[in-house]
Chains A and B, each alone.
Chain A
Amino acid sequence: MLETLAYVAVPALLAIIFALAMPSMARTIGMRIGRFLAVDMVSATRTALLVATALMLAGGAFLGWTAYRKSDDYNAAAERIDEKVHAHEQVITLAALSDPAHPKESEQARTPLFPILWRNVSSTLARFDPHREFVPDFGEPLKMSWLYGVALAIVTAVAVMALAEPPTPLQQTAIDLARLADKLEKEATTPDDKALAGAVRKTAEDLANPALPPEVKQKQLDALKQEMEKKEPPKASDQNRGSSGSSAGSSGSGKGKESSGASSNATGQSKGEGKGGGQGKGEAQNQPGSGSGAQSKRGDKNKASSVEISKDISKAETLIETEGNSEKKSGNQPSQKGEGSAPRPGENPNQLGGGSQPDKNGPAPIPMPDQNANREIPGGSASKGTKGGSSGDTHLGEFPAATNYQRYLKPGEKGPALDIRDARYVTFRIPQTVVASGSGKLMPDAERPTATVPYTNAPLKAAPDNAPPDERQLVPPRYRELIH
């Protein structure tokens, strides 16, 4: 019985381990491979694995019980003993001729030679030691069990990869952050830098975790921002920029080199700016030179990394905010895919409908600002999150599929006021047939060309600054009057 159970031991154990580790496995796969398993898929996979475990254990128990029943059977036991002692079926014959279940028939089948059979079997069984002959042999069952375990692991891996989906914009940002953390760690020279890299990675992992609420993610981001601010000397670099051009500070060694070397305004004491090894005071020497010292380079790299991290943090904040809003609007139900529980578009054109939810998977036919679509956006990698969408029209990585973009009230139509204060980007279609006259009445505008595609206020060019999204000019001024 134990031997039979050993056949399912490894696969059952592996299935339990997979089931328990499925959330972290899904997160790791997402961060490493870039494909995430949705929360409901994780729980479905866990359930499937646990059910498989239960089935395997039940099957093993059934087979074990069958084996036990067989060993408990009089004739079957005789067969096994006969096989063990190589009695040439004498034990089987004796068992058949002395079956306690059918004593009469057994006696009738005996011949005058029966005593010889009895004696032969007795002498054979005298040398038979059940404890020695029936030692449990787990070798073969465990070997097969490992094979089954490997098969289960392969099936699980294939299933997970098949169920995994491309990352959401927030998860994509988390992946970017994790890569930056790796980069930062690789270039780190001080424990502080390593700690920062660790914090960035931790934040990235939390951002990628769909089970965490947006508030927690926001807190994580705030904490990371504070840590970043601690690392960054306040505005020292700006001063240097003004005085010595692109002078970059050197680190620990205390010797700074001007990269341009041609500055005559250098005071001789310049504070080097840099992340990682680039911190500390450096003494700028007003000598002409190439300015390509290793420390200086590292400082530049660190600065770039920190800028990228800042960008990603900003992006993540925006996305978290969007996520939080969408959750609130959809009845506080988490929507991992940006679909499902959002309200359906109704009669009221000003009410946010289901179509206003970002649909990262669906094609985003609008906006189509043609040549602007390919413009570079801040952050660089924002377009990775879109799939057949605006291809980098916004720095958020995707553009809302504005299926309910007709937000404005038609002439004579009344409805609730628009509540788009939190909107950063707006997709709209300019009314074609009306125009405001001098008297304040809406009149048809026959001269105006008919708009065929909706407009958007998405930035047309990558913003060079690192200002948080709130500080940016998100809506072009000429359209602000249309939004109240």
Chain B
Amino acid sequence: MGAAPQQSPDERTEEFRRVFHTAEAEVSKVIVGHGDAIRKLLTALFCGGHILIEGVPGLGKTLLVKTASEVLGLSFKRIQFTPDLMPADIIGTQVLTETEGHREFVFKPGPIFAHMVLGDEINRATPKTQSAVLEAMEERQVTVFGQTYRLDPPYIVLATQNPIELEGTYPLPEAQMDRFLFKVVIGSPKPEELREIMSRTTGAVMHTVKPMFDRSTAPAKIERLKVLVREVMVSEAVERYVVSIISACTPGGAGALAETSQYLRFGPSPRGAQALILSGKVNALLDGRVSVGYEDVDDAIVPALRHRLLRNFQAEAENVTTDQLLEQVIKRLKRPR
């Protein structure tokens, strides 16, 4: 799915910025605050990644994803993860169906077959069920009874985690965490934002969003914009910068900082570097450029790497968070000059 032949590069980049900013504005009509979460959601969508959203209940996580899908004209499904949820409940199953006198197994797709899938409280499901999502997230396909079914692009999984009430939960394994492009932490709204939330949700006027695309054409348009993101150029200097960031976060590595060696067990995988470059490309396009700069990368360091760092016992004992470590990395890292 390439670019439309009649569109010039300028028109394509202009369209990207327009779509992005319009989507942001539309979602913000319903979601008060959380501007960074909205931007990261859209960035992940155009990068082809997935998002892990962490926040206490009632902050509008589900509403955010639902609103975004409405704005972009994409299909949306929600899965409430519970301990008794089975993989077939997510992926789908073969159902024996009688049609015109003969019986056959027909695949009944699960809720994972949508453009935007919200896995609510993903850490409440068993590891078996969680791992069922893995193939879908990475391969964009599911296999049922030996039959592989492709998921229609664009495909994005947005999983939420509740940082409280951890009894009876199954924390996501590192391998699964690594598959999320960003981990967005949603905090409590500020007082003025809270007032605005009350005003919008308890009044007579219901705020609705206006879909940007028709449901039939939206996936193709979004895929075209995803191609544009991939065309953004990256210089060798910026690539070296990203490598130095990853090295600084890898304990015991050549360029590791003292803090990371002290508090981390494992550093980010190459997916972390990919995440930095891809999100940097989106940031560059939004800034009107077609090449990635250092600042574009800096903006993505914390959300793209915070869930890829595995803390050691000392860090947990001293309550040193990965965000604090990444702030140190940003502060002390020198750009290649």
Contacts and interface: CB of A to CB of B under 8 A. Distances in A.
A327 interface: no
A131 interface: no
B284 to A, nearest CB: 8
B9 A88 contact: no
A241 B70 CA distance: 129
Contacts of A79: 237, 337
Interface string B305-319: 000000000000000
Interface in A60-77: 75
Given A96-B236, A113-B232, A89 B337 contact: no
B293 interface: yes
B290 A120 contact: yes
Contact of A89 (B3, B13, B231, B294): B294
Contacts, number: 67
A406 interface: no
Interface in B256-305: 284, 287, 289-296
B223 to A, nearest CB: 16
Q: Is the interface of A mostly helix, strand, loop or mixed?
A: helix
A93 B231 CA distance: 13
A96 B235 contact: yes
Contacts of B235: 89, 92-93, 95-97
Interface stretch (A104-112, A281-289, A393-401): A104-112
Given A89-B237, A93-B234, A96-B236, A83 B291 contact: no
A97 B291 CA distance: 11
B10 interface: yes
Given A88-B289, A89-B238, A111 B232 contact: yes
A93 B287 contact: no
Interface footprint category on B: 20 to 34
A88 B237 contact: no
B291 A90 contact: yes
Interface in A99-126: 109-117, 120
B9 A89 contact: no
B10 A116 contact: yes
B233 interface: yes
Nearest to B235: A93
A93 B287 CA distance: 16
Nearest to B297: A89
Contacts of B234: 93
Interface of B: 3, 9-10, 13, 228, 231-238, 284, 287, 289-296, 337
6 contacts: A89-B235, A90-B289, A93-B233, A96-B237, A111-B232, A116-B10
Given A88-B291, A96-B237, A120-B289, 17 more contacts: A79-B237, A88-B284, A88-B295, A88-B296, A89-B237, A92-B237, A93-B291, A93-B292, A94-B291, A96-B236, A111-B290, A112-B231, A113-B232, A115-B9, A116-B10, A116-B290, A117-B290
